[in-house]
Structure 1
Amino acid sequence: MNLSNRIKGAVAAAFMVGVFFSGTTAKAQQVTPPVQQQTQQNFTDKELKQFADASTRLMDIQRKGEEKMMKILQEEKLDVNKFNEMAQAHQQGKLTDTQATPQEMTAFNKAAQRMMEMQPELQKEVEVAIQKDGMSLDKYEQIMAAYRQDPALQERLNKMMDQQ
């Protein structure tokens, strides 16, 4: 798996609960610090290694989180596509407009509540994964923002990952 996919996985891990269930950006910002407008472009190899290692750990957190969420949906007897449809409608304030049965509404509410209850634990796991090798949350976000904007940094990180 290339670094671009790992980075996307890391981002998803950081936001998977907050963004989909809160309906506000404030919840998402609780999971990760806000991205700064001006990004630093000169990162050391050590910082990039820490970033790559943290991203790998975040992918594992994402995978485990997704497994837990799938188990919740199975227990609540709710199809993942129906849940996603309802979650999107909820985020837009149009949940009552969906063609969901009363049973699906009940299952959705229970599943969403259980997933929201996972958020503090996920947030802590994300923070620990990023900080494990001494990287700060701010530095991780700086590198992430630069990675999104700078093809040269993307290439540098991809080469670094290929060598490991």
Structure 2
Amino acid sequence: MFKTLKINILFLFTFVFGSITLLAQEEQVSDKQLHQFAEAFTEVQLQNQKSQQEMIAVIEDEGLEVVRFNEIQKAVMNPNETSDATAVEKEKHENVTIKLEKMQPEIERKTIARLESTGISLKDYESLAVKIQENQSLQQRLKTILMKRQDQDH
């Protein structure tokens, strides 16, 4: 019985300590930080959409459809998959890939600049993202903030 009591106390302690740790983590993220993260998240999403449009334009300018480019890319990335791409399509795919790789540093720079324009550093943004990903309560708080922002925009 004594051993069972020790185990129950240990379990209770672990449960209580774990709950306190989760509460402490959540309290470490203030509403101000969460609002700032939401603003940065929105800006990053907008920049990503703009970048995607630029990448789509590069693909289409080369004479490929986006779906076809993705099919060829999937085959290139998976050595177990064969591609039915023609030599011309492979050349177009290669040209697009080179152009997209050249665009990458500028896309990253623009994204980081847009994020930092909200007053949050990349390091803080990434740190908050991890905390939010690991905590459902923070996810819910963020979701509420984002929904309110969306309602205000419309």
Q: Check whether TM > 0.5.
A: yes
Q: Does 1:77 align with 2:44?
A: no
Aligned to 1:48: 34
Residues 112, 122 of structure 2: 8 Å contact kept:
yes
2:98 to 89, 108, 113: 113
Q: 1:145 aligns with which of 96, 105, 130?
A: 130
- State, as a whole percentage, how many aligned pairs show the same letter: 27
> Taking structure 1 as reference, are residues 162 and 82 closer, same or farther at Cα in structure 2, changes over 3 Å only?
closer
What's the CA shift for 1:94?
Answer: 5.9
Larger Rg: 2
Aligned counterpart in structure 2 of residue 159 of structure 1, from 127, 144, 147: 144
Equivalent positions of 1:2-41 (< 5 A) are 41=26
Higher helix share: 2
- 5+ residue gaps in structure 2? 1-24, 150-154
TM-score normalised by the chain length of structure 2: 0.73
TM-score with structure 1 setting the length: 0.68
Q: In structure 2, how many angstroms separate the alpha carbons of the residues matched to 1:107 and 1:94? A: 22
Report the alpha carbon displacement of residue 93 of structure 1 after superposing the two structures with TM: 4.3
**2: CA distance, partners of 1:114 / 1:93:** 23
**Pairs aligned (count):** 124
CA apart distance, 1:53: 0.7
**Structure 1: gaps (5+ residues):** 1-39
Q: Which SS does the other structure have where 2:96 is aligned?
A: helix
The RMSD of aligned alpha carbons is 1.8
